[in-house]
Amino acid sequence: MAGNNPGRVNSGDSLGRVVASLVVTGIFALAMIIAAGRAAVVLPAGTRIPLHVGSVERCVEVPKRAGLVIWPAAGLAVAGVLGGIAASGLAAGWVPGVRYVLAPAATGVLLAFEAGALAMARRGSGPSGTPEAARERETSARSD
C-alpha cells in the first residue's frame, strides 16, 4: 500500500482513525440523548429550555418537550453531516487533524451547550423560570 509510494498515506491507518473519530462522535451524540432523557425526568413540566443562537444574549426559550428534542437532533445532525463528510472521499485531501477531529469537536461543543442550557433551565425552573426573572430576583435580593 504505502510501500510503493512514500508520499501516500496508508489507507488502513487512515480508515482506523476515521472510525475512531466516528466512535467518539457517536459517544458524544449518545451523551446528548442521555442528557435529554434525564432532563425529561428531572425538570418540572413548565420548564422552558434555552436555545443559544450565538450567545446568552441571543437565547430563545422553547417549551421543555421541544427543547429536549431540538438539542439531541442538532447533535445528531452535526455528527451525521460532519462524520459523513470525514468518512467520504470529500475529505480525502484535508489535513488529517481536521478530518479526524472536526466531527467529534463540533458534537462535543453541542453537548457542552446542551448541558449549559439544561443547567440554566434547571436553575431557572419555576413559575417565573426565565433567566431574566432569576437575575431580577438576585438583583432585588442584593439591593435589600
| pLDDT 10s digits, 33-76 | 999 999 999 999 889 999 877 766 778 889 999 999 999 999 99
In this predicted structure, what is the pLDDT of residue 136?
Answer: 56
What pLDDT, on the 0 to 100 scale, is given for residue 110?
93
- The reported pLDDT for the residue numbered 17 is 84
Q: Within a 13 Å sphere around the CA of 26, how many CA atoms are in the beta-carbon half?
A: 7
Cross-strand partners of 48: 63
pLDDT on residue 98: 84
Hey, how many other C-beta atoms are within 10 angstroms of the C-beta on 103? 28
> What is residue 5's predicted lDDT score, i.e. its pLDDT?
44
- For every residue of 78-95, DSSP letters joined together read HHHHHHHHHHSGGGTTS-
- Confidence check: pLDDT of 2 > 50: no
Backbone angles phi, psi at 101, to 5 degrees: -105, -25
State the pLDDT at residue 143: 57
Local structure of 139: helix, strand or coil = helix
Q: How high does pLDDT run on average in the chain?
A: 80
Contact 67, 49 (CB under 8 A): yes
If DSSP states are collapsed to H, E and C, what string results for the chain?
CCCCCCCCCCHHHHHHHHHHHHHHHHHHHHHHHHHHHHHHHHCCCCCEEEEECCCHHHEEEEEHHHHHHHHHHHHHHHHHHHHHHHHCHHHCCCCHHHHHHHHHHHHHHHHHHHHHHHHHHHHCCCCCCCHHHHHHHHHHHHHC
pLDDT > 90 fraction of the chain, expressed in percent and rounded: 42
pLDDT surpasses 80 at 11: no
What's the pLDDT tens digit per position in 78-104? 999 998 888 888 877 888 788 889 999
Q: What does pTM read for this prediction?
A: 0.74
